[in-house]
Amino acid sequence: MPHRDFLRVAVLGAGHGGQAMAGWMAWQGHQVRLFNRSAEALMPLRSGLTLEGVVSGHVRLQVTTHIDEALDGADLVMVVTPATAHRPLAYRMVPHLSPEQVVLLHPGRTGGALEVARILAAAGLPNVVAEAETFLMASRVEAPGTARIYQIKQRVRVAAVPADQTRRVVELLQKIHPAFVPARNVLETSLQNIGAIFHPAPLLLNLGRVQAGLPFDHYHEGITPGVAAVMEEADRERTDLAARLGVEVLSARQWLRKAYGVDGRNLYESIQANRSYRGLKAPQTDRHRYLTEDVPTGLVPMVSLGKALGLPMAVMESLVRMAECLHRVEYSATGRTVESLGLAGLGPAAIRRTVELGFAPQAHRAGMEG
């Protein structure tokens, strides 16, 4: 790993997060190449990117639709895409990755680093794959060629596969921002996926309003006492799963207390007390990432892991089934499962050993298709 202060970074994904992150790193002086599968999002960036908000200025970016060009010579490959793109991107990266390159899923949702590390190892690649528990910043692309960074989080935990590489990855990331700190392992970052609790249930349980196009606040109006009760039970399943695996995670109420300084006698009261959620509108379509991403890469892997370890996971599974009926997609088959994470047939101790040691690369780089 280089000891110089400035990094060569490949950012994969030119959405809201990818553009802001690429711009932030370029503004700091890092050499950034921004990859996107479609050229349309990159066209306004060929003359540079204007940053607003936390920092202001204009930066130059190298942009490309060729993944080999983006990865060439990069110290860090930062994947800033919806989590549903992690698997196909991993297969697409295989022919072009160098073994010393670090891959960071930013964020990984639930099981992202395990899934990608297993794919790379099966292709004979020993790369360190890490995941962040959440995205570093709140940002939006406000106009073509302009990205606004509203806020940078104070603390973002990161873990690597294998776990003994976490400290090295964090030292690398702290050249980008000191908010990156080490987590114990990727079970900790994966099971602290609060979005899987806060997103699918309110959308599914307000489906009538969503499909009728009636605007409402996702949190303060969509989460009634009854909806919050369902969410709190799903959250208990998540924390029970973490306990079964020997991992400490914050409950949803504890997370709200730590992140926003709010509390209540139950999850409903805690959410209502959070002024930061005021005015955050619910999706106006059920084809939204709150379902299309948070179900297959949040709820499904938790259900799959829990049931494999003898936990019922009844509420989470019911939410998955509702989303499957709504979208006519078998998320429980296409999403992340113990099989795709390389954890099938393993008990808690063996799962912990796998996340600590990682996957042994196969002796040869196999031709693989995503």
Q: Do 305 and 338 touch, CB atoms closer than 8 A?
A: yes
User: Which one-letter amino acid corresponds to residue 142?
Assistant: E
Q: Strands 76-79 and 8-12, how do they pair?
A: parallel
Place of tokens 């799903």: 234
Instruction: Determine the angle formed by the axes of helices 300-308 and 314-327, rounding to 10 degrees.
Output: 140
Q: Which of 106, 199, 218, 235 is catalytic?
A: 199
Residue 339 backbone dihedrals phi, psi, to 5 degrees: -70, -50
Residue 361: DSSP 8-state: P
State the CB neighbour count (10 A cutoff) for residue 349: 10
Amino acid at 338: V
Strands (E), the chain: 8-12, 31-35, 49-53, 57-59, 62-64, 76-79, 102-105, 129-132, 137-143, 146-152, 156-161, 180-182
Question: Helix, strand, coil shares of the chain as percentages rounded to 5?
Answer: 45, 15, 40
What are the start-end ranges of the H helices in 12-66? 16-28
Q: Is 199 a catalytic residue?
A: yes
Give the Cα separation of 358 and 191 in Å (integer): 18
- In sequence order, what E strands does 111-205 have? 129-132, 137-143, 146-152, 156-161, 180-182
Residue showing tokens 């010393």: 100
Given a contact cutoff of 8 angstroms between Cβ atoms, the answer to whether 79 and 104 are in contact is yes
- 86 belongs to the catalytic site: no
Token pair in block for residue 320: 């998955």
Residues with catalytic function: 199, 294
